[in-house]
Structure 1
Amino acid sequence: MLILVENLPSPFDRRVWQEATTLVAHGYQVSIICPTGKGYELPYELIDSIHIYRYNLPNEGEGALGYLLEYSAALWHTFRLAYKVRRERGFDVIQACNPPDLLFLVGGFFKRFYGSRFVFDHHDINPELYEAKFGRRDLLWKLMVWLERQTFRTADVSIATNESYRQIALERGGMRADRVFVVRSGPKLDRLKIQPPKPELKRGRRFLVGYVGVMGKQEGIDYLLRAARHIVHELKRDDVHFGLVGGGTSLEEMQQLAGQLGLADHVTFTGRVPDAELLDMLNTADVCVNPDVANDMNDKSTMNKIMEYMALGKPIVQFDLAEGRFSAQEASLYAARNDAVDMAHKIVALLDDPERRLHMGQFGRNRVEHELEWRYEVPKLLRAYETLWT
């Protein structure tokens, strides 16, 4: 098996790493091609019997030219390293994890000329992602739709992260129903351990509101900061601190916005940190938030952070999105879509109701333990691969 990833290094990308280690545990030989990243700079590593080949990318794309440079470099290095893997150990299957929807060019090439099978692991709906970032449906949006269609046409099997993505594979991608498998990004509880809180992370305040995720435009960090401003300045709650874990292209911009909103002393931005520090923040949080903007992309997407919060027994506040509601159910309160003030009031309502927080946290943890943990997805993943040979 050869797994292609462009947007995150391995083993940092949790979904990809869980898939890879699962395949190894069931007798597959696995190689991964991915970019380098902070803490993952080596061009080659062997970790848990998985061969990882990494390449350097230009800075993450901003605007059409930035993305063109990034994706062109990624394609060149992916082709180059795929040949290297083929020479050194060979592969029968290429699995492409998007974004971008360009990796079918690599999978299709080796499928046509070397007989490899091609699996599309559908992580993001790129036409909706483009619209969320740039707010328009122009020629480049139409190109995204075309590239997505070509990816599905090339794939022997597609893996969807939820039912919304499965419908896209069937309707927009034209795939056969028996070739599309839903494999959710369930957390592994041996990684997400409930531990004692670290009170110092509250910076002397009574409550901590936690967030973990990417700092990008469609993640709605600006909504969260405006909710925080309402809590601190309008509701006069000086007893709440906010801990935001994660990096991304909007991190510096969001730090500046926090200052402009008078929140510099009430918000901690950690940037990207090791898992241990991430877990410290989440285990200390009294309430966790998902401020993802209500749009077509986020409405149809399953966010890893939601299930990580649930695995740690944390009550959640998020905007009312279809897949977010499916995942969290009673573990979350749902604010009106893109309404920072309503999100603020939902957060405060939970902070002031410890019994409700406890009930919601227990519900979420129980749902992960008995329905959503990764072990329930393993048979589905293996069935998808078995289908390649039928």
Structure 2
Amino acid sequence: MSRHVLILVENLPVPFDRRVWQESRALVEAGYAVTVVCPMGTHAQESDVTLEGVHVLRYPLDPAQGGVLGFVREYAVAMFHTSRLALRVARARKVDVVQACNPPDLLFLVALLLRPRGARFVFDHHDLVPELFLSRFAGGGRALYWVTRLLERLTFACADGVIATNESYRAVATGRGGVDPSRVTVVRSGPDLSRFVQFPPDPRLRRGKRFLAAYLGVMGPQDGVDYALRALYALKNDLGRTDLHCVFMGAGDVQQQMIALSRDLGLDDMVEFTGRVPDEFVQRCLSTADVCLSPDPKNPLNDVSTMNKVLEYMAMSCPIVSFDLAEARVSAGGAAVYATPNDVTDFAARIDELLRDEEVRREMGRRGRERIERELSWNRSREALIGFYDALFELDR
């Protein structure tokens, strides 16, 4: 029988968590059996379903509301259901590996439940949770920071192997995590190029304007959509640019707040929020966009995190405006222009700069796509993932 990998993820439902979905499919294609335990979502309501060979078990979960206590409630419910379903899976078939994808850094407890049954534990390190809470709760984040540092250290200590999303995260694992470097493998969240195909530009998306800007991604407190909106306000009112329409694709905790902020800033004639959209719309929009926005502000989390949207913009040959973050430069290189961190006026100026030079935009887009094809596509990451698992089981395929 093929080796059985149980993947635990709480942050998003599968297949909408792109990284987990890509990992799951890659493992199935390599001959592993894969079961995923995750929450339900608006468009993922089935509790037990098999998708492209991946067995997915989902549980009901309401997103956190009301600050820290909201997260305590959310994680308590998630841990109950995840433990229940993991034990159910283990009773039906032996689990060889539990792969836990954070946040939260609590899922190692579920892995420990299955360790007496022979399951190994792999930590797929998606987010720096201590920095996430420090960035999200500026007023009271310090105490949470040290609690989450402890949980992170326990997670690393229990792991038989660690998958890091970039070299910065690998340094965290081997540094404050105390993990032997030989047990840490970098598997970047690269775009699947079969999902990012150029379409003919769709002028209707510009809503009668000359230029189109686009944002694609989650809308959480740390994702900087508010920075993008304030930059668009500066672009319109300080630089006098009224020939730009901007589409924000995605959803998240602060989506409704961002819609309200857009109205308060008087951007109704310039900004459109679509919510989550199908891949076909994403491809049409990014094929039409003149510039793409990555407004994540500089903070302890964002500075060392790889932003999926940056890689996806590059896969679609889009020039990017980003704040000057360490990992943004590692990913995008010459495919982006970089604004002074957290300075919305400079972010607006960089947008204006790109819109004024079509040749520069075209060259940046070409560089980005070339870099994805050469180094950063999911095909490259897939090889690293399968190599990690083969080494874990000491297999010679």
TM-score higher than 0.5: yes
Q: Secondary structure at 1:318's aligned position in 2?
A: strand
1:127 aligns to what?
A: 130
- Aligned counterpart for 1:305 among listed residues 309, 314, 323: 309
* TM-score, normalised via structure 1 length: 0.98
The equivalences for 1:1-390 within 5 A come to: 1-111=5-115, 113-135=116-138, 136-390=140-394
Residues of 2 paired with 1:108 and 1:150: CA distance?
11
1:217-240 deviation digits (Å, cap 9, x = unpaired): 111111111110011112111100
Residues of 1 paired with 2:322 and 2:142: CA distance?
30
Q: Secondary structure at 1:241's aligned position in 2?
A: strand
1:254-311 deviation digits (Å, cap 9, x = unpaired): 1111111110111001112222222222222110010001011000000100000000
Residues of 1 paired with 2:369 and 2:70: CA distance?
41
Residues of 1 paired with 2:106 and 2:382: CA distance?
27
Q: 1:58, CA displacement in angstroms?
A: 1.9
Residues of 1 paired with 2:94 and 2:273: CA distance?
43
Q: 1:352, CA displacement in angstroms?
A: 1.1
2:134 touches 2:144 (CA, 8 Å); kept in 1? no
Residues 339, 70 of structure 1: CA spacing in aligned structure 2 closer, same or farther, 3 A cutoff?
A: same
Residues 156, 382 of structure 1: CA spacing in aligned structure 2 closer, same or farther, 3 A cutoff?
A: same
Residues 157, 246 of structure 1: CA spacing in aligned structure 2 closer, same or farther, 3 A cutoff?
A: same
1:179 touches 1:387 (CA, 8 Å); kept in 2? no
* TM-score, normalised via structure 2 length: 0.96
Residues of 1 paired with 2:284 and 2:108: CA distance?
39
The number of equivalent residue pairs is 389
1:359-389 deviation digits (Å, cap 9, x = unpaired): 0000000000111111111221122212323
Matched letter for residue 120 of structure 1: F
Unaligned runs of 5+ in 1: none
Residues of 1 paired with 2:93 and 2:52: CA distance?
17
Matched letter for residue 174 of structure 2: L
Matched letter for residue 239 of structure 1: D
Matched letter for residue 128 of structure 1: E
Q: 1:37, CA displacement in angstroms?
A: 0.7
Q: Secondary structure at 1:248's aligned position in 2?
A: coil
1:66-122 deviation digits (Å, cap 9, x = unpaired): 1011000100100111122122333110000001101010012211x2120000000
Q: Secondary structure at 1:258's aligned position in 2?
A: helix
Residues of 2 paired with 1:88 and 1:191: CA distance?
34
Residues of 2 paired with 1:279 and 1:5: CA distance?
27
Q: 1:168, CA displacement in angstroms?
A: 0.4
1:117 touches 1:388 (CA, 8 Å); kept in 2? no
1:157 touches 1:387 (CA, 8 Å); kept in 2? no
Residues of 2 paired with 1:223 and 1:315: CA distance?
18
Farther off after superposition, 358-367 or 78-87: 78-87
Farther off after superposition, 193-202 or 378-387: 378-387
2:198 touches 2:284 (CA, 8 Å); kept in 1? no
1:174-208 deviation digits (Å, cap 9, x = unpaired): 10010000010111110111111221111110101
Q: Secondary structure at 2:222's aligned position in 1?
A: helix
Residues of 2 paired with 1:378 and 1:194: CA distance?
23
1:211 touches 1:282 (CA, 8 Å); kept in 2? no
1:294 touches 1:320 (CA, 8 Å); kept in 2? yes
Farther off after superposition, 276-285 or 115-124: 276-285
Farther off after superposition, 326-335 or 138-147: 138-147
Matched letter for residue 118 of structure 2: G
RMSD: 1.1
Residues of 2 paired with 1:104 and 1:59: CA distance?
21
Q: 1:137, CA displacement in angstroms?
A: 4.2
Residues of 1 paired with 2:79 and 2:384: CA distance?
29
Q: 1:60, CA displacement in angstroms?
A: 3.1
Q: Secondary structure at 1:139's aligned position in 2?
A: helix
Instruction: Report the identity percentage.
Output: 51
Residues of 1 paired with 2:375 and 2:303: CA distance?
21
Residues of 2 paired with 1:341 and 1:10: CA distance?
38
Residues of 1 paired with 2:99 and 2:384: CA distance?
16
1:134-178 deviation digits (Å, cap 9, x = unpaired): 114432221100000010011000000000000000111110010
